[in-house]
């Protein structure tokens, strides 16, 4: 069980992470909604589940977190900044050519395991890492976070077949199930449900939780691995835009590039004291 | 010693190596029983094989991936470009039955754009041995390279003893000659070698370069041939676009060198599937046909 103090700390940190993310949604913008949906997942995994931090990146026994959808990288950088792993001022370099903080992750930022952005790649990469950990008889946990829309890509399912064949029970696939892909609800375009059954059919042992509930996440991740000799899958039901009611669950607020006063408004909305007035055009990208 | 035995010896010496295949075991049939967990068959899934290879490389391994050249370089292209290429990872790709070696399989299996695709990836080195002996000579060097590597697998028996010293980016001069230079790689080497002898019987002294690595290319040897001989002939089982002819053209243009160049390659179509000797004659790449095509071209430039 998480203590009340631990939960309070997580909630305080999550608020900080969301603030940092929202500040990136201007001057070029970012994929705001998808970053807010997985913010709690990423924060929880780094603080309570994974044995990885800037001091042990060269340790072959450490754990791994691969961010497969990639455009949620503001949540990763904001988590790094909140935990003191990345100087907060580096985030001011967002989209600037002299730094490496752009719309998708890359290994120039310490702690980023692999570059992503082309969907459906990192499950296979993570499976390769998991295979090597097993081959060396090590106990590392290897986590990959995928989007839900990303599951349209067949390469994910191909990689699961192989992960199951090689009994990679050190591999955990976390799905940020925010219900949207780019501009459309997943179920309106390429339905994914029943998603647990799909993962089960591909050999995974599956759990499903509210991805914003730290207690539920803690309970679900304490039980990892969910079965011996099979990969595990955690479907985390989340809300795209969690924390900001004015953009939450809105198909047209995928990529967000707001004016500075709108960002200030959204930061107030995050504190629950205000409803933001958004006049910037909703962007339809892709 | 053949490819499989050479590979086994190298891999057994060094823990970093893993042998992977997307269920294409023709060249590595005996390896599972000696390598155990360091042999990984991902099934018919070239993308997953490359993705996993990238993951293994992140862990300090050097994965050596096998699949048919067409599926390896095309089905998995974006994984090679994005995971291996952008990552700059030392993943080794061994493409089976490239070029004419796919003989009767048909166009689905014809890798005749593989050089073009692989050299479009920054950092990718390309090794196209003339035969199995040449492959074995260069194998260790290519595997020890810190860069990603694409190898056109070639099981043909050697018709000449190859030079044992091997350097990435260095061609093998097999025959000296002052009249023209034959530039070739891979399985067409033996046809080019026989063609050079046919030309010699006609009083034409053909220099013959076995290029070995196409990327990096031996610019010095090619520019020297352009200075010292009057005609370059590129001979390849690859589309005209993007292969050796393109590489040589780029090199000559960049160096402001102008001389006649005859490309013998596949132009804008897949080749007619048949058993290998018939493919060669049908497509005009048997040694006598190569010699005839070169002599005909020499007559046209002499007439100009």
CB contact at 8 A, A200 and A160: no
Does residue A199 form part of some domain? Answer: yes
What residue of A is the nearest CA neighbor of B35?
A135
Taking Cα atoms as reference points, which of B39, B46, B43, B52 lies closest to residue B69?
A: B46
Which residues of chain B lie closer than 8 angstroms to A121, CB-CB?
Answer: 51, 79, 82-83
Q: Please report the pLDDT score of residue A284 as a whole number.
A: 54
The share of chain B scoring above pLDDT 90, in percent, equals: 99
**B252-289: pLDDT as tens digits:** 999 999 999 999 999 999 999 999 999 999 999 999 99
Does residue A108 form part of some domain? Answer: yes
Band (pLDDT 50/70/90 cuts) for residue A281 is confident
Which residues of chain B lie closer than 8 angstroms to A202, CB-CB?
Answer: none
Band (pLDDT 50/70/90 cuts) for residue B23 is very high
* pTM summary value: 0.97
What residue of A is the nearest CA neighbor of B45?
A158
Which residues of chain A lie closer than 8 angstroms to B50, CB-CB?
Answer: 124
Does residue A284 form part of some domain? Answer: no
Which residues of chain A lie closer than 8 angstroms to B40, CB-CB?
Answer: 131, 166
Q: Which sign does the torsion angle of CA B204, B210, B215, B216 carry? A: negative
Band (pLDDT 50/70/90 cuts) for residue B239 is very high
User: Can you give the three-state secondary structure of chain B, one letter per residue?
Assistant: CCHHHHHHHHHHHCCCEEEEECCCCCCCCCHHHHHHHHEEECCCCHHHHHHHHHHHHHCCCEEEEEEEHHHHHHHCHHHHHHHHHCCCCCCEEEEECCHHHHHHHCHHHCCCCHHHHHCCCCCCEEECCCCHHHHHHHHHHHHHCCCCEEEECCCCCCCCCCCCCCCCCCCEEEECCCCEEEEECHHHHHHHHHHHHHHHHCCCCEEEEECCEEECCCHHHHHHHHHHCCCEEEEEEEECCCCHHHHHHHHHHHCCCCCCEEEEEECCCCCCCCCHHHHHHHHCCCHHHHHHHHHHHHHHHHHC
Interface touch B51/A132, C-beta < 8 Å: no
Q: Report the Cα–Cα distance between both ends of chain A, in Å, rounded.
A: 43
What residue of B is the nearest CA neighbor of A106?
B87
Which residues of chain B lie closer than 8 angstroms to A203, CB-CB?
Answer: none
- Cα–Cα distance, A186 to A177 (Å, whole number): 9
Instruction: Return the higher-pLDDT residue of A272 and A20.
Output: A20
DSSP state of A71: T
Which residues of chain A lie closer than 8 angstroms to B38, CB-CB?
Answer: 135
Taking Cα atoms as reference points, which of B7, B8, B1, B276 lies closest to residue B133?
A: B1
- With 0-12 / 13-18 / 19 or more C-beta atoms within 10 angstroms meaning exposed / middle / buried, residue B298 is buried
Which residues of chain B lie closer than 8 angstroms to A126, CB-CB?
Answer: 55
A→B interface, C-beta within 8 Å: 60, 107, 113-115, 118, 121-133, 135, 155, 158-159, 161-162, 165-166
In the predicted structure, residue A120 carries a pLDDT above the cut 60:
yes
**Number of residues assigned to chain A:** 286
State which residues form the domain around A44.
Answer: 4-270
Which whole number is the average pLDDT over B35-61? 98
Give the closest of B47, B61, B86 to A132, CB-based: B61
Taking Cα atoms as reference points, which of A283, A253, A285, A266 lies closest to residue A32?
A: A253
- Cα–Cα distance, B43 to B22 (Å, whole number): 5
CA angle A49, B52, A37 (to 5 degrees): 40
CATH classification of the domain holding A89: 3.40.50.970
Does residue A37 form part of some domain? Answer: yes
Interface touch B58/A135, C-beta < 8 Å: no
CB contact at 8 A, A17 and A83: no
In the predicted structure, residue B9 carries a pLDDT above the cut 90:
yes
Does residue A275 form part of some domain? Answer: no
Taking Cα atoms as reference points, which of B187, B150, B89 lies closest to residue A125?
A: B89
DSSP state of A234: E
In the predicted structure, residue A283 carries a pLDDT above the cut 70:
no
The answer for residues whose C-beta is within 8 angstroms of residue A96's C-beta and 6 or more apart is: none
CB contact at 8 A, A70 and A104: yes
Does residue A9 form part of some domain? Answer: yes
Does residue A81 form part of some domain? Answer: yes
Q: Which sign does the torsion angle of CA A92, A95, A99, A104 carry? A: positive
Q: B87 touching A, CB under 8 A?
A: yes
Which ipTM value was assigned to this complex?
Answer: 0.96
Q: Where are the alpha helices (DSSP H) in chain A?
A: 4-23, 32-37, 39-44, 73-82, 122-135, 154-165, 186-189, 195-201, 214-222, 260-270
Does residue A281 form part of some domain? Answer: no
Interface touch A162/B48, C-beta < 8 Å: yes
- With 0-12 / 13-18 / 19 or more C-beta atoms within 10 angstroms meaning exposed / middle / buried, residue A176 is buried
Beta bridge partners of B63: B18
Which residues of chain B lie closer than 8 angstroms to A129, CB-CB?
Answer: 55-56, 58-59
Return the SS3 of A91: helix
Domains along the sequence of chain B with CATH: 3-152 (3.40.50.970), 172-303 (3.40.50.920)
Domain total of chain A: 1
The answer for residues whose C-beta is within 8 angstroms of residue A163's C-beta and 6 or more apart is: A123, A127, A130, A171, A203, A231
Interface touch A132/B37, C-beta < 8 Å: no
In the predicted structure, residue B185 carries a pLDDT above the cut 80:
yes
Q: Which sign does the torsion angle of CA A82, A84, A85, A86 carry? A: positive
Interface touch A129/B61, C-beta < 8 Å: no
Q: At what angle do helices A4-23 and A73-82 cross, to 10 degrees?
A: 120
CB interface of B with A, residues 51-70, below 8 Å: 51-61, 63
Band (pLDDT 50/70/90 cuts) for residue A286 is very low
DSSP state of A258: B
Interface touch A125/B55, C-beta < 8 Å: yes
- Cα–Cα distance, B184 to B233 (Å, whole number): 8
Which whole number is the average pLDDT over A227-248? 97
**B111-164: pLDDT as tens digits:** 999 999 999 999 999 999 999 999 999 999 999 999 999 999 999 999 999 999
Cβ-Cβ pairs closer than 8 A, A with B, add up to 87
């Amino acid at each position: 069980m998480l203590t009340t103090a631990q939960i309070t700390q997580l909630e305080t940190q999550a608020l900080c992470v969301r603030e940092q993310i929202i500040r990136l949604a201007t001057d070029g913008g970012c994929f705001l909604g998808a970053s807010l949906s997985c913010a709690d997942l990423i924060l929880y995994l780094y603080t309570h589940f994974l044995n990885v931090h800037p001091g042990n990146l060269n340790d072959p026994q450490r754990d791994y977190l691969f961010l497969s959808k990639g455009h949620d990288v503001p949540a990763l950088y904001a988590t790094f900044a909140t935990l003191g792993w990345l100087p907060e001022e580096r985030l001011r370099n967002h989209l600037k050519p002299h730094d490496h903080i752009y719309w998708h992750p890359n290994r120039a930022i310490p702690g980023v395991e692999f570059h992503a952005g082309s969907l459906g790649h990192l499950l296979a990469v993570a499976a390769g890492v998991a295979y090597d950990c097993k081959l060396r008889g090590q106990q590392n946990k290897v986590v990959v976070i995928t989007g839900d829309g990303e599951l349209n890509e067949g390469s994910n399912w191909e990689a699961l077949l192989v992960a199951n064949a090689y009994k990679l029970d050190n591999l955990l696939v976390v799905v940020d199930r925010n219900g949207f892909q780019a501009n459309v609800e997943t179920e309106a375009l390429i339905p994914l449900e029943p998603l647990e059954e799909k993962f089960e059919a591909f050999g995974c042992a599956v759990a499903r939780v509210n991805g914003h509930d730290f207690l539920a996440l803690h309970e679900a991740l304490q039980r990892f691995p969910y079965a011996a000799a099979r990969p595990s899958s955690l479907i985390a039901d989340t809300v795209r835009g969690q924390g900001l009611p004015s953009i939450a669950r809105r198909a047209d607020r995928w990529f967000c590039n707001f004016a500075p006063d709108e960002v200030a408004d959204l930061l107030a909305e995050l504190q629950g004291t205000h409803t933001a007035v958004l006049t910037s055009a909703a962007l339809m990208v892709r | 010693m053949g490819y499989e035995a050479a590979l086994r010896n190298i891999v057994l010496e060094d823990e970093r190596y893993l042998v992977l295949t997307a269920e294409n075991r023709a060249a590595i049939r005996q390896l599972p029983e000696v390598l155990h967990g360091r042999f990984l068959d991902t099934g018919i899934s070239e993308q997953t094989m490359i993705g996993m290879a990238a993951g293994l490389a992140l862990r300090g391994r050097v994965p050596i991936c096998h699949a048919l050249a067409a599926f390896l370089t095309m089905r998995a292209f974006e994984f090679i470009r994005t995971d291996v290429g952008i990552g700059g990872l030392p993943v080794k790709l061994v493409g089976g039955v490239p070029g004419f070696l796919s003989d009767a399989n048909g166009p689905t299996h014809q890798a005749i754009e593989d050089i073009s695709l692989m050299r479009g990836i920054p950092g990718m080195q390309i090794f196209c041995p003339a035969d199995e002996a040449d492959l074995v000579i260069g194998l260790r060097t290519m595997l020890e390279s810190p860069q990603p590597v694409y190898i056109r697998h070639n099981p043909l028996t050697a018709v000449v003893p190859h030079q044992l010293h091997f350097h990435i980016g260095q061609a093998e001069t097999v025959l000296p000659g002052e009249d023209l230079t034959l530039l070739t790689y891979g399985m067409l080497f033996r046809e080019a070698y026989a063609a050079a002898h046919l030309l010699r019987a006609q009083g034409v002294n053909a220099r013959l370069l076995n290029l070995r690595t196409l990327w990096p290319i031996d610019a010095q040897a090619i520019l020297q041939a352009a200075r010292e001989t009057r005609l370059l002939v590129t001979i390849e089982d690859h589309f005209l676009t993007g292969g050796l002819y393109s590489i040589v053209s780029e090199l000559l243009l960049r160096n402001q060198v102008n001389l006649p160049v005859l490309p013998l390659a596949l132009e804008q179509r897949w080749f007619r599937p048949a058993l290998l000797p018939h493919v060669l004659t049908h497509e005009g790449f048997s040694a006598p046909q190569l010699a005839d095509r070169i002599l005909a071209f020499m007559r046209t430039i002499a007439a100009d």
